[in-house]
Structure 1
């Protein structure tokens, strides 16, 4: 298959995935906001591309305006994809592996998606975590708990990206870490960046300063917790659980 044809297939499948999730969601505005954040597109950039006021996008996302129909959703999805393509297509390329390969991995302990986003303060409180780097706070639409040793030893950078599920705006919890450096190095070399990183098993003063520095450079919130891992997962599951990715 030609390269251009493959690219078009990826775009088409991703477009269908995005539009389907938004239109079928009980909260289409939240789903729309999630995908806009996934593509790192500001409301003003999206509204300028569509030729509408930024308040229109804001009203759709907040639910103040009637849920958009399939035609409007399609235009918004197409705009997000086009904006990414104009920026080099990094996000589209990153999602290619999720569309064409299996997402299961022995490195994944648990993965969940939320209907309603969780804020960083709620995450920290839920898992009794210390904030090492505040970074840029984003709404979190899920979490993934990863066996750090298995991920680092077994996964390529391409496979590592699949751990994000369908939203990068999620908390990535790394277990079995010794200093916290390795997970941050793995994140640095991927195109996708999580909404927050949680180092499990270390106290705040035990996390390597280099891990904090990398979090600062990538502007990623970094937390540390020693909560029992099963208790941590149970606590996060109780927050607006949507579905489990098998």
Structure 2
């Protein structure tokens, strides 16, 4: 989960200022901040850790941190609605917020069920659901010591994603999109090709596009593969208010080893 938040913060500066290089400096730009991706990630974790209705937690956290911006137009309306309903979203917002499902799942099927529970309330389009479940599956598999090729094969077989491209092949022509089918596979490649956590996030930022969300997805999987270096974790933690830290602490206490 902190991996997703690291990716969100690091990628935030570049979402509308795309770069196509990996060696950007510093890793955390002075203009970096946590965005709606972090808020929604915490909201989903809050629901799963405390067995709450994810509609309630997403609306509560979203309204509390509305000013952080970045909300999609339809999700923004959903947040404000007193009777919110799924809106057939095929976007990547479900995948970027789902990491707690991969961390808390007691089995792969359980992780997929948790991902479905927190996704279908907004992203009930098949592509939106697929993106969230594929991300949760990648996290669960990585935490259970599957290597990158085993994870890649499992995701291709279960979800039908094309994951045979490389980051260098993706980068030149990749453009901004919020479509799950055109951003989740790319984010997964960034994580699976990486040599360590930082490399995964740099891969994600370097392809351009929806940088904070792609880096959040890649970061969530990379955390499960590699862990997070202490200096990067501490820097991301320093951006977060106390209420978010409390949810994260509770999640890691409950997550399967």
Structure with higher Rg: it is 1
Higher helix share: 2
Report the TM-score, using the length of structure 1 for normalisation.
Answer: 0.32
Report the TM-score, using the length of structure 2 for normalisation.
Answer: 0.31
